[in-house]
Chain A
Amino acid sequence: MGIRTRVAEIYNILAPYIGRLFMEQVKACLPIVLYLLVFLLLVFRGHMSNPWLFIPGIIFVLVGLMFFMEGLRLGLMPFAETIGNTLPKKATLFVLLGFTFLVGIGATLAEPAIGVLKSVGSSVDHTRAPLLYDYLQNHTTTLVIMVAIGVGVATILGVMRFLHQWSLKVLIFPILSGVLILTAIAHWIPDLRSLIGLAWDCGGVTTGPVTVPLVLALGIGVSRARGASDTGMSGFGVVTLASLFPILFVLLSGFYLYFSGSINLEVTKAATGAMSTGIGTMVADAMYYAVRAIIPLMLFLYLVQRFILKEIIPNGQEILAGVVFCLVGMAIFNLGLSFGLVPLGQKVGAAAPNAFAPPAMFYGALWGKVVVLLFAFFLGYGATMAEPALNALGLTVENVTQGAFKKKLLIHSVAFGVGCGIALGVAKMMFDIPLAMLLIPLYVLLIPITWLASEKFVNIGWDSAGVTTGPITVPLVLAMGLGVGTATSALDGFGIISLASVCPIIVVLTLGILVEGKAKK
């Protein structure tokens, strides 16, 4: 028996709801877009090639994210909570780990930012970085699968960590060393050097709005099933692993492709007729891609809850609405990315070098570089401040440290770290510094800092990096990086995200050591 509603009443119910959701996205995204526009048009004196496509593009990004996030809340979270609560209790270890692995893969494939890797791949210069170009153009599926498997393995390890209460510190060192060694090898072999940026950026691309809640719910459920008290720290640590393992897998797969001769280094630029497809095809493509990304995960979760847990699905109608929202949202978001966000990032990236490089050199060689670096720093700072996940992390940290580490301190320190990272990434391209020269020393620096910091802060600090890079920042920074890379003499445009991930860890861990040292006195 239902309640019949008149049109005016429906409006009264829906308007505040939709208004609130839309404003959430506007508050998070619009400032960054405006910041970029101002810099593009006024400071770097570039121009937007197709404003009539760009403005709807940005609106699509906002609307798409609005639908997608709400769809996650309605369609994904109920599964996450129920399965997270009951699966650890009811299932055998084997089933639990198998589920964890598949969920890790499924969630990664459903992440909105994964699609961006493919679209930015076409702007890589095939003469400077043939391996990278070939990998991105002809082996895209392999890349995505490698990243997904990496996350799957990381989630298994994360869940086992909760089960046996392993220390995250102990896990980080071997994994990090392995990844750094592989990176060094890739740097040493010139053909493989272009792989480094891509691999490390893939680590930052994962762990988005789909993976994190699922994995957190699982982690909390496992901790609870173990009987461990809720210290508020349950769930931490998996994000870190889910950022490190994909790097490992992408590097390894790149090595394999190279050494097995599957990579065509003499490749010529593929006929990019893709740029001139009609709007209709693009929409159909977007829908197809959205279905392929989301349905497997949702179907899998449904089947697990229905047949393995044998729990009924409450509110089936709402969950279905949630899934539809996710599909629609992701399709619209991807369209918005291609029309609006990615071109914006690329244009800004391409125009920025005009500040310091010939022939334009708007501000002279020195000041031009300063302008660009400051621009990059504040972009990182601002974009991070807008991330909603960071606010949640800050609250948790303040609780867990009994107020010693204030929420504001965490937010600003992470934002500062990301700002530095992005500035460093842009500097890498300005001065043509090989990425390995920046990453390896920074991560090596992180080893003693991690060793000195307490287990609690190791969890917080390393996870904060995964939390910061959201569905808006990642495509923008990737596109911008590639824009700068094409305009300068840099090897490739990847790597900014990886630097934007390592710097906040250093800042937060160092602060953590200081805060805890003060508290002990």
Chain B
Amino acid sequence: MAKQTQKYNLITCIVQRGKGDEVWDAAKKAGAGGVTIHFARGKGVREKLGLLGIAISPEKEVLQLVVPDKDADKIFDAIVKAGKLETPGMGFAFLEDVKRAVGFYHEKKKK
């Protein structure tokens, strides 16, 4: 088996239902190759916002992107900006190391 030369990171982003496409567009512009989106339900933060919580939908979309190490920070920042994740209640994002990954092909840039 070929030794993996490319280091990959996993970005997980959780936003309200309906916002997923917006966040993905920003990630794509920043260089992300693809995303897997699934639906989930959130609990915890919304309740702590008090009455403001009605503006937050408990239905969520979970986006998972596997991105090359060197692009990770750029894509992560783009996601945070697009999803307004700095505002409490808007969602979450976290970055993890990936030990092994299969199926992700880095596009060869035409030099």
Q: Return the CB mask of B29-60 against A: 1 if under 8 Å, else 0.
A: 00000000000000001001111111110000
The answer to whether B45 and A9 have CB atoms under 8 Å apart is: no
Secondary structure at chain A's binding surface: helix, strand, loop or mixed?
helix
- CB of A3 closer than 8 Å to a CB of B: yes
Look across to chain A and name the residue whose beta carbon is closest to the beta carbon of B88: A3
Flag whether A274 is at the interface (Cβ < 8 A).
no
Proximity bits, A316-327, B CB within 8 Å = 1, else 0:
011001000000
Complex Cα gap A8–B52 (Å): 13
Contact partner of A13 (CB less than 8 A), chosen from B18, B48, B55, is: B55
Taken together as a complex, chains A and B put the C-alpha atoms of A317 and B47 apart, in Å, by: 11
Query: Cβ of B51 and Cβ of A317 under 8 Å apart?
Result: yes
**Across the A-B interface, the 7 shortest Cβ-Cβ residue pairs:** A17-B55, A12-B87, A9-B87, A3-B48, A13-B55, A3-B88, A2-B48
**A14 on interface, CB distance cutoff 8 Å:** yes
**Interface residues of B, Cβ cutoff 8 Å to A:** 18, 45, 48-56, 84, 87-90
Chain B nearest CB from A9 CB (Å) reads: 4
User: Measured between C-beta atoms, what is the minimum distance from B24 to chain A in Å?
Assistant: 17
Q: Name the residue of chain B whose CB is nearest to the CB of A17.
A: B55
A-B contact pairs, 20 of them (CB 8 A): A1-B48, A3-B48, A3-B88, A3-B89, A5-B52, A5-B88, A8-B87, A12-B84, A12-B90, A13-B49, A13-B88, A13-B89, A13-B90, A17-B56, A18-B55, A317-B51, A318-B51, A318-B53, A318-B54, A321-B54
Q: B52, A10: Cβ atoms under 8 Å?
A: yes
- Quote the shortest CB–CB distance from B55 to chain A (angstroms): 4
**Interface positions of A (Cβ within 8 A of B):** 1-3, 5, 8-10, 12-14, 17-18, 20, 74, 317-318, 321
A3-B55 in contact (CB<8A): no
Contacts of B52 in A (CB 8 A): 5, 10, 13-14
> Which one of B18, B49, B55, B90 contacts A2 once the chains associate, using CB atoms below 8 Å?
B49
A13–B55 CA distance with the chains assembled, in angstroms: 7
Inter-chain contacts of B49 with A (CB < 8 A): 2-3, 5, 13
B28 to nearest A CB, angstroms? 21
What are the residues of chain B within 8 A of A8 when measuring CB–CB?
A: 87
Q: Which residues of A contact B55 (CB under 8 A)?
A: 13-14, 17-18
A13 touches B87 (CB 8 A): yes
Q: Does B45 contact A13, Cβ atoms closer than 8 Å?
A: no
- For the complex, give the distance between the alpha carbons of A1 and B52 in Å: 14
B53 to chain A, nearest CB (A): 7
Query: Which A residues are in CB contact (< 8 Å) with B45?
Result: 3
Given contacts A8-B87, A13-B89, 20 further A-B contacts (CB under 8 A): A1-B48, A2-B48, A2-B49, A3-B45, A3-B48, A3-B49, A3-B89, A5-B87, A5-B88, A9-B87, A13-B49, A13-B55, A13-B87, A13-B88, A13-B90, A14-B52, A17-B55, A20-B18, A74-B54, A318-B53
Kindly list chain A residues whose C-beta atoms are within 8 Å of the C-beta of B56.
Answer: 13, 17
Which single residue of chain B is at the shortest CB-CB distance from A11? Answer: B87
A9 close to B53 (CB less than 8 A): no
Contacts of A5 in B (CB 8 A): 49, 52, 87-88
A509 to chain B, nearest CB (A): 36
Give Cα A13 to B89, complex, Å: 7
Name the residue of chain B whose CB is nearest to the CB of A5.
Answer: B88
How far apart are the CA atoms of A13 and B51 in the complex, in Å?
Answer: 12
Point out which of A9, A13, A317, A318 has the most chain B C-beta atoms below 10 A from its C-beta: A13
Closest residue of B by beta carbon distance from A74: B54
Q: Chain A contacts of B54 at CB under 8 A?
A: 74, 318, 321
Question: Which A residues touch B87, using CB under 8 A?
Answer: 5, 8-9, 12-13
Q: Which of B48, B51, B54, B89 has the most CB of A within 10 A?
A: B54
- When distances are taken between beta carbons in the complex, the residues of chain B under 8 Å from A13 are 49, 52, 55-56, 87-90
Determine the distance from Cα of A321 to Cα of B84 in the docked complex, in whole angstroms: 26
Residue of A nearest to B48 (CB): A3
Cβ of B64 to closest chain A Cβ, rounded Å: 23
CA–CA, A321 to B89, complex, Å?
19
Q: How far is the CA of A384 from the CA of B45 in the complex (A)?
A: 39
* Residues in A neighbouring B48, C-beta threshold 8 A: 1-3
| Interchain CB contact under 8 A, A9 and B88 | yes
What separation, in Å, do the CA atoms of A10 and B54 have in the docked complex? 12
Residue of A nearest to B89 (CB): A13
Contact residues in B for A74 (Cβ distance below 8 Å): 54
Please give the distance in Å from B44's CB to the nearest CB on chain A.
Answer: 10
Q: How far is the CB of A21 from chain B (nearest CB, A)?
A: 10
- The answer on a CB contact under 8 Å between B50 and A2 is yes
In the docked arrangement, what's the CA distance between A231 and B63, Å?
32
Q: Which residue of A lies closest to B56 (CB)?
A: A13
Contacts of A321 in B (CB 8 A): 51, 54
